[in-house]
Chains A and B, each alone.
Chain A
């Protein structure tokens, strides 16, 4: 394996990890602040992608499409929070899992009803298409590089929001002690809606950004949702730092495992068997990683409980 290919796969892993972080951040915030496990987070990712594809199709502008994905996912998130989710905060996890599973059924079939079963396509804008040459002679698609940068900027913004702003203080206080911040005069239900909408907007943005690489279709959120759960479980549920570390770990493991394992097995198996064994083991690798992390640290890398 050449250095160039290796570097390219590292970048792919990084890009995947950053996108997973955008998904996982909302999940882990919602769990940390409200104690809610939200399976419908993948639907918000899907809504963001569909909104972006629809707006890009109508206006031709990629920037407007990204704005639409943020707005549509945030609005859908706020609506879901106000109508359904806020009734679930005091329920046990089983009720939360079921109610949000029901939301997935409603949102997925609803989207299929509106947009049909055929995938939509979201084109990479011309100013971001084509390869770019990085130091060391690595050829890499400009768009993927752009989403790495965009994801890092958003992640930085999120950390700044949580560490430096008044809203961030309220969010952290909400994680520590709900009753206390309500007693201090903060409108807790407004804070909850805000946090939920923020998480939804991040998921919607991730959906739109990834939608330009893959196709936009119903059910696209589910594999990502499950990976995002793996991420927050590895990182420790409720921890943003854990989500970042977990996302990068999962992104790298999944990408590099898929590339390296078949080559590893090729050392002592015949080529077709090596490809088969390597590919199936590669797709199981992150779940094995998660099981190992949970066995070593039952509440994740940065979990508190």
Chain B
């Protein structure tokens, strides 16, 4: 085992221990915080596939996070009022069932990622950063101006959606559900990185010309990676909306894109557990410093600056030593 896998094991242990302790002492608030870590980490796992493996600096992942959230909001609000989403040409009703909502969130965000990716990947470098940012903002302004689902004020869903066999209103059950989804995404992400597709994607990040020379089109690799990345972040958006039982255009704002990126960077770009470590650190800081000062984002900014300037591998990179898999 490498030092990184020991760190990952330690993190997993901590992430299980803390909620177990909170559950046994009846601290529902801590359970909610842990759920939030898992869901935000999931969004980061999605971005990490594009950013860490593919080297695609997407500053617009809030678009997919928001689409996932709005998929949940639209389906659940129609189910809440028993008002079908459309009745022509086919009848589509709202639903409160999480598996269906997740499926819709994943499909909708993949389609969006396919469209945004197909256009954005024609550019590279700063232009790619900017065009992804612009697509995110486009959806942000669209949802602000779209009154059907709350417009600028957002929309509340009164009862959390249901999952067969579980009572999702019990914090610990929703927590376990989120952990399982995160675990599956991590497993998928680890397998993806070692699969031929992941290796080709990594190679395309390091030297696109050589990959092209051996007969693989980097554009298609990147597009597929972008779609997978967007769909996982979209799923996280649906879960996040369910955690808060609220959706609003803020989910689409560029601050959300920046924060998802912060999770990945604080933890370590391209590291399997990077987003998990980053999201945990972010929530920990928000919780600890937020209690000390309402201006806690000054400290977050200073920390982020320090990580970028001096500790370039993020938390895991600093602890695990030199970069192993990613150059």
CB of B145 within 8 A of CB of A279, answer yes
CB of B134 within 8 A of CB of A290, answer yes
Interface string of A96-128 (1 = CB under 8 A from B): 011101111110111011000000000000000
Alpha-carbon gap, A209 to B222, bound state (A): 43
CB of B301 within 8 A of CB of A93, answer no
Q: Contact residue range for chain A?
A: 35 or more
Alpha-carbon gap, A106 to B303, bound state (A): 10
**How many cross-chain pairs have Cβ atoms below 8 Å apart between A and B?**
123
CB of B304 within 8 A of CB of A105, answer yes
CB of A102 within 8 A of CB of B141, answer no
How far is the CB of A275 from the nearest CB of chain B, in Å?
A: 10
Alpha-carbon gap, A282 to B146, bound state (A): 12
Interface string of B240-278 (1 = CB under 8 A from A): 000000000000001000100110010001000000000
CB of A237 within 8 A of CB of B126, answer yes
CB of A93 within 8 A of CB of B125, answer yes
Alpha-carbon gap, A284 to B145, bound state (A): 10
The reply on B76 being an interface residue by CB < 8 A is: no
Residue from B125, B126, B137 in contact with A226 in the complex, judged by beta carbons closer than 8 Å? B137
A51-59, A159-167, A291-299: which one contacts chain B? A291-299
Alpha-carbon gap, A291 to B137, bound state (A): 12
Knowing A87-B309, A93-B129 are in contact, say whether A98-B304 is a contact too (CB < 8 A).
yes
The reply on B133 being an interface residue by CB < 8 A is: yes
CB of A299 within 8 A of CB of B127, answer yes
Residue from B122, B126, B254, B298 in contact with A106 in the complex, judged by beta carbons closer than 8 Å? B298
CB of A98 within 8 A of CB of B301, answer no
Contacts of B188 in A (CB 8 A): none
Chain A 68-114 interface residues, beta-carbon cutoff 8 Å to B: 84, 87, 91, 93-95, 97-99, 101-106, 108-110, 112-113
The reply on B300 being an interface residue by CB < 8 A is: yes
How far is the CB of A90 from the nearest CB of chain B, in Å?
A: 12
CB of A102 within 8 A of CB of B129, answer no
Alpha-carbon gap, A283 to B129, bound state (A): 20
How far is the CB of A261 from the nearest CB of chain B, in Å?
A: 11
Alpha-carbon gap, A91 to B269, bound state (A): 15
CB of A291 within 8 A of CB of B119, answer yes
The reply on B308 being an interface residue by CB < 8 A is: yes
CB of B295 within 8 A of CB of A99, answer no
Alpha-carbon gap, A105 to B304, bound state (A): 10
Knowing A93-B125, A287-B135 are in contact, say whether A103-B301 is a contact too (CB < 8 A).
yes
CB of A105 within 8 A of CB of B297, answer yes
Contacts of B261 in A (CB 8 A): 97-98, 101
Contacts of B262 in A (CB 8 A): 98, 101
Contacts of A19 in B (CB 8 A): none
Residue from B138, B145, B254 in contact with A287 in the complex, judged by beta carbons closer than 8 Å? B138
Contacts of B147 in A (CB 8 A): 276
CB of A298 within 8 A of CB of B142, answer no
CB of B298 within 8 A of CB of A105, answer yes
Residue from B131, B144, B297 in contact with A294 in the complex, judged by beta carbons closer than 8 Å? B131
Knowing A226-B137, A291-B131 are in contact, say whether A280-B145 is a contact too (CB < 8 A).
yes
The reply on A229 being an interface residue by CB < 8 A is: yes
The reply on B59 being an interface residue by CB < 8 A is: yes
CB of A31 within 8 A of CB of B126, answer yes
Contacts of A288 in B (CB 8 A): 138
Chain B 113-150 interface residues, beta-carbon cutoff 8 Å to A: 119, 122-123, 125-127, 129-131, 133-135, 137-138, 141-142, 144-147
CB of B302 within 8 A of CB of A102, answer yes
The reply on A37 being an interface residue by CB < 8 A is: yes
CB of B123 within 8 A of CB of A294, answer yes
The reply on B217 being an interface residue by CB < 8 A is: no
CB of A229 within 8 A of CB of B295, answer no
Interface string of B283-308 (1 = CB under 8 A from A): 00000000000011110111011001
The reply on B239 being an interface residue by CB < 8 A is: no
Alpha-carbon gap, A101 to B129, bound state (A): 13
The reply on B57 being an interface residue by CB < 8 A is: yes
CB of B127 within 8 A of CB of A284, answer no
CB of B301 within 8 A of CB of A105, answer yes
Q: 10 extra interchain contacts, Cβ-Cβ under 8 A, other than A105-B304, A280-B142, A283-B145?
A: A84-B305, A99-B308, A102-B300, A106-B297, A283-B144, A287-B137, A288-B138, A291-B135, A294-B127, A294-B131
Chain A residues at the B interface, C-beta cutoff of 8 Å = 31, 37, 84, 87, 91, 93-95, 97-99, 101-106, 108-110, 112-113, 222, 226, 229-230, 233, 237, 276, 279-280, 282-284, 287-288, 290-291, 294-295, 298-300
Chain B residues at the A interface, C-beta cutoff of 8 Å = 51, 57, 59, 119, 122-123, 125-127, 129-131, 133-135, 137-138, 141-142, 144-147, 254, 258, 261-262, 265, 269, 295-298, 300-302, 304-305, 308-309, 312
**8 pairs, A vs B, C-beta closer than 8 Å:** A91-B308, A102-B304, A103-B305, A226-B133, A237-B127, A279-B145, A287-B141, A291-B135
